[in-house]
Structure 1
C-alpha cells in the first residue's frame, strides 16, 4: 500500500478542510485500509511504502504492518510500487501474488478483498467510480508487469496485461469504487461510511 506524507495528502480537499484535518483524514483512511487488509483471508503480509516512514509508523501504530521507505531518488507512485515489489520479490517466490491497494478507500471491506482474490484472471483491476482509474490492482509479483497508475490507469493496466500475455478482468464493487479525494467523492459514499469517517474528521460533515 503506498502512503503519502501527512502534509501533501488530500490537497484537493483544501477548500473544505484545513491542513490538520486533512492530515487526520489521511491517518483515518490509511488505518481503515490496512485494518481491512489484515482482516481479509488470503492476505499474508501488508507492506506500506512511503517517503515519510515516521508519519506512516505513527499513523499505523498497533497494526501488524511493515513500513518500507521510498528512496528519495525514486519519487512518484509508480517508482514507489516498483521499489516495494523488488523488496517483496527478494523474500517471496516469484509465483506469489501482489495486491496494490490505495490508502484512501473508506468503504473497503474484507468481502471486497476476498472478491478480488477469488477472480480467476492473473490480473485483476478494481476500477474507480468513473471507470477510468485503478483503486486496487492484483497481479503476479514476478510477471514484470509495469505499474501505470495515473490518468486513465484502468485502460493502461489492461493494455499492459495484454502486452504481457496475461488475462485481465475488471471488478467494480461499491467498496472498491469510491476513494476520497474530493467533496464529490464524499457525497458518493454510503451513509454509514460517511457517519464513521465524519465522526473522526468532523470538518467533512460541516463542509461537504
Structure 2
C-alpha cells in the first residue's frame, strides 16, 4: 500500500461534537471525539496516515499514535480536505482514503483500498459522506456538510469515473447526534 495514504481531518477535540451538547458535557464530548479518532487512526496505521489539523493538542496526540501531520492553513472541513488531498498528491501518493475521526466501527477500513473504483461510503442516513477513496490524478471538488453524499456522488459521476457506493456498511456508522450514541453505549 505504499502508493496509498489515509487522510483524516480533525478539528480540536474541545469543540468537537457540539450537536451532542444536550446529552454530554464538553469534557465528555472531547473524550468521546478523542476515543473515536484513536480507533480510526489505529485501524489505518498499516498505511501512511495523515491528520489535517490546526490544533497543537491534536497534532501531539496524532504524532503519539504514529500519524503524520498536515498543518492546515485554512479553516473549514472542505478546505482542510482539499489541502490534505493536494498535499498527498504532491508527495506522490496515487490513492487517498479520506475519512472522519468519528467512525464507530473502523476495523478493516483499509480493505476498501482493494476496490478499483472511486469509493463512496455514505453515512447510515445516506446524507453525509463517511469515507471517500479517490485517485489523486483527478480534480475533485469536496463538498462536505449536510447532503454531501449526493454531491460527492454527482461530482464523481461527472468525472466519468467508475464509482462504487458502499452503503449499509460498518463504516456508515458515525456519531453526529444523540440518536447515534447507542452505537457506543
Decide: shared fold, TM above 0.5.
Answer: yes
CA RMSD of the aligned region, Å?
A: 1.5
Query: In the TM superposition, what whole-angstrom CA distance separates every residue of 1:163-201 from its partner, at most 9, and x where no partner exists?
Result: 2121111012442111012121112x2xxxx3xxxxxxx
Question: Are 2:63 and 1:46 equivalent residues in the alignment?
Answer: no
Range that drifts further, 96-105 or 79-88 = 79-88
Structure 1's consecutive aligned runs of 4 or more residues displaced over 4 angstroms after TM superposition are none
Greater fraction strand: 2
Helix, strand or coil at the partner of 1:60: helix
Which structure 1 residue ranges, 5 or more long, are not aligned? 195-204
Q: Does 1:128 align with 2:130?
A: no
Find the residue that maps to 2:51 and give its secondary structure.
strand
- What's the CA shift string for 1:90-143, capped at 9, x where partnerless? 2115xx101101000021112x430x222232x110111011211000011121
Matched, 1:166 2:164: no
Count of paired positions: 178
Alignment-derived partner of residue 62 in structure 1: 64
User: Unpaired runs of 5+ in structure 2?
Assistant: 1-7
SS at structure 1 position matched to 2:12:
coil
TM-score (structure 2 length as normaliser) = 0.89
Deviation of the 1:86 alpha carbon: 2.0
TM-score (normalizing by structure 1)? 0.80
Q: Which one of the candidate residues 83, 105, 113 is aligned to 1:117?
A: 113
Query: Aligned residue for 1:198?
Result: none
Does structure 2 conserve the Cα–Cα contact (< 8 Å) formed by 1:107 and 1:174? no
SS of 1:86's equivalent in the other structure is helix
Q: Distance in 2 between matches of 1:105 and 1:120?
A: 23
SS at match of 1:68: strand
CA distance in 1, matches of 2:32, 2:63: 16
Residue 62 of structure 1 aligns to a residue whose secondary structure is helix
SS in 1 for 2:98: strand
Does the CA-based 8 Å contact 2:50-2:67 persist in structure 1? yes
Instruction: Give the drift of 1:32.
Output: 0.6
Q: Counterpart of 1:197?
A: none
